[in-house]
Structure 1
Amino acid sequence: MKKRLPTSTAGSLPKPAWLAEPEKLWSPWKLQGAELEDAKRDALRLSLQEQQHAGIDIVSDGEQTRQHFVTTFIEHLDGVDFAKRETVRIRNRYDASVPTVVGAVSRPKPVFVDDARFLRSQTDQPIKWALPGPMTMIDTLYDSHYKSREKLAWEFATLLNQEARELEAAGVDIIQFDEPAFNVFFDEVNDWGVATLERAIEGLKCETAVHICYGYGIKANTDWKKTLGSEWRQYEETFPRLQASSIDIVSLECHNARVPMDLIELIRGKKVMVGAIDVANHGVESAEEVAATLRRALQFVEADKLYPCTNCGMAPLPRDVARGKLAALSAGAEIVRRELGA
């Protein structure tokens, strides 16, 4: 029998200090060449083991082999020049130096498929793989070729679909597209953002998910959240379109967020990855705090469609904090399972 309330993480987990500088996004690797490749695999094994030890049901690679959830995929594409940098505003929140699209984009070879195959060989549990969504990819670049956000998003959606099909063939059970940009560019989401996401999942038989959050616990994001008022209603703008889409699962931020829980009603019928772990602070939730978030969510989503999760990735957190949070997620889900008589 399939386990009820299966737990998972939204994406990244902290990297070991021997692989990259801890508690930092875009942290440079500490090794190179064959040593680096070996170290990445060791970190992936370790990340898997820590998820299993914490009782996580749907496991991932913890994004151990990538520096960043968006740019590592882009690095492997043709048509993008990483030496030619421009400063752009990321999601209207902070400035970053980003690579430039200089020609037609293409994917000369698979990006994460070998890593996914390796993860598959290490466990019999369901595995989830995160990819950047088309809109979030275009928001992390300077485009001097297409000069159209929509056109570039459609191009990226085609490349993501190629990668996703090969990830599915490698044994991935859930492919998740990270779209934090969906919480910012509402008109574009509804005009073409969800449509490009549908292009990215075209032809897939495995489950598909979209993850929409308020970002890592970095200062630019926490400062932005302070400007959003007493209720964060951004999901209200995009959920109706997602509810009508063919995406199977919607992943959202809940715990310690000012997101009204009843907005989940707008995606009724979808499976929902409910963020029950706050990644923006170092405090470790109690199992009861996690359970309380899940109980509130159960007013708006059926128990067989509720997937307890983290609010976002945990790459910037200390490893012991992340381990504690994973254990709390599992323990809280178990409390609610018992209450449901599962």
Structure 2
Amino acid sequence: MQKLLPTSTAGSLPKPSWLAEPEKLWSPWKLEIAQLAEGKRDALCLALQEQQQAGIDIVSDGEQTRQHFVTTFVEHLTGVDFDKRETVRIRDRYDASVPTVVGAVSRPKPVFVEDARFLRQKTSKPIKWALPGPMTMIDTLFDNHYKSREKLAWEFAKILNQEARELEAAGVDIIQFDEPAFNVFFDEVNDWGIATLEKAIEGLRCETAVHICYGYGIKANTDWKKTLGSEWRQYEETFPKLQTSSIDLISLECHNARVPIELLQLVRGKKVMVGAIDVATNDIETPEEVANTLREALQFVDADKLYPCTNCGMAPLSRSVAKGKLNALSAGAEIVRGELSR
């Protein structure tokens, strides 16, 4: 029987200081070639150990082998030139220098499958693996070949499906697609964004998730949040269509967000990863604060479908803060489990 309120993270955890500069997003690697490969594996083992010590139920690799949640995947594809860079507006929020799509995109070989197999050998717990979603991938590149966001998204969806099927075969229990772009481009999400996501999960028997948040705790995101007013209703635009999609789990930002909790009603029947940990602050939540977020969510999500989680990845935080937050997540979920079992 599955544990009630199984905890997990949205994905990334801080990297150890010997692998990359701490508390910095997209920090360059400190090691090279064979040492880097070994260092990434060591960091993955460390991230797993820290999750297990904190009592996290569904574990991940902590994204230790990735420098960036989108570009590390794209680096392994053909048709993208990393030397030819253009400045684009990312999710209508900030400018970034990104690689250019110069030809047909394809995946010559698996990207994360060996890492997933390695993680599978190290734990008997359920494992979750995060991949970038098609819409968020196209928003992180300059397209000089397809000249159509939709066409490129469909190509990426096919490639992601190939990777996802091999991750499933390697023993991954939940494959999560990160789609922060779903909180920005509502017309595209409903016109073809969810359809491309369905393509990415086609034929999978393992559970599938989509993670939609308001971003890492970096200045560009926190500044954007200040412009969103007293209520953040972005989920209202996409949840109705996601509710009728084939995706099993919907992962969202909740704690310290101005998301009206009743919007969770729009995905009634789906499993929901409720973000009960704020990743935009170094303040460590108390178990009671976590429990309060979960209690609020339980008004609109059945207990057997509620998965306590973090709002987003914790890569930019210090390891001590991230550990504290993992412990709080576990302890808060335990409080509510106790209440439910009574």
| Alignment map for 1:2-17 (pairs within 5 Å) | 2-17=2-17
- The equivalent of 1:300 in structure 2 is 300
- The equivalent of 1:322 in structure 2 is 322
Match status 1:211 vs 2:211:
yes
- The equivalent of 2:334 in structure 1 is 334
Distance 2:73 2:336 in 1: 37
- The equivalent of 1:101 in structure 2 is 101
- The equivalent of 1:173 in structure 2 is 173
- The equivalent of 1:51 in structure 2 is 51
Q: CA deviation at 1:26?
A: 1.3
Match status 1:137 vs 2:137:
yes
- The equivalent of 1:27 in structure 2 is 27
- The equivalent of 1:123 in structure 2 is 123
Could you tell me which amino acid in structure 1 is paired with residue 21 of structure 2? E
- The equivalent of 1:223 in structure 2 is 223
Distance 2:27 2:281 in 1: 19
Secondary structure, in 3 states, of the residue corresponding to 2:296? helix
Match status 1:194 vs 2:194:
yes
Secondary structure, in 3 states, of the residue corresponding to 1:228? coil
Distance 2:144 2:23 in 1: 33
Distance 1:263 1:303 in 2: 17
Secondary structure, in 3 states, of the residue corresponding to 1:84? strand
Deviations along 1:122-170, whole A, 9 cap, x unmatched? 0000000000000000000000000000000000000000000000000
Q: CA deviation at 1:25?
A: 1.2
Distance 2:199 2:253 in 1: 25
Q: Percent identity?
A: 85
Distance 2:180 2:156 in 1: 16
Distance 2:80 2:20 in 1: 25
- The equivalent of 1:289 in structure 2 is 289
Secondary structure, in 3 states, of the residue corresponding to 2:150? helix
Deviations along 1:8-41, whole A, 9 cap, x unmatched? 0001000000000111111100000100000000
- Number of aligned residue pairs: give it: 342
Distance 1:61 1:308 in 2: 18
Deviations along 1:245-291, whole A, 9 cap, x unmatched? 00000000000000000000000000000000000000000000000
Q: Which runs of 5+ in 1 are unaligned?
A: none
Instruction: List structure 1 segments (4+ residues) > 4 angstroms apart after TM superposition.
Output: none
Distance 1:281 1:25 in 2: 15
Distance 2:59 2:88 in 1: 34
Distance 1:341 1:238 in 2: 33
Q: CA deviation at 1:2?
A: 1.3
- The equivalent of 1:269 in structure 2 is 269
Q: Which runs of 5+ in 2 are unaligned?
A: none
Distance 1:151 1:278 in 2: 35
Could you tell me which amino acid in structure 2 is paired with residue 50 of structure 1? E
Could you tell me which amino acid in structure 1 is paired with residue 165 of structure 2? R
Secondary structure, in 3 states, of the residue corresponding to 2:162? helix
Secondary structure, in 3 states, of the residue corresponding to 2:177? strand
- The equivalent of 1:247 in structure 2 is 247
Deviations along 1:174-218, whole A, 9 cap, x unmatched? 000000000000000000000000000000000000000000000
| Alignment map for 1:144-183 (pairs within 5 Å) | 144-183=144-183
| Alignment map for 1:67-78 (pairs within 5 Å) | 67-78=67-78
Q: CA deviation at 1:66?
A: 0.5
- The equivalent of 1:310 in structure 2 is 310
CA RMSD of aligned residues (A): 0.5
Could you tell me which amino acid in structure 1 is paired with residue 258 of structure 2? R
Distance 1:85 1:22 in 2: 26
Distance 1:24 1:116 in 2: 24
Distance 2:22 2:159 in 1: 31
Q: CA deviation at 1:232?
A: 0.1
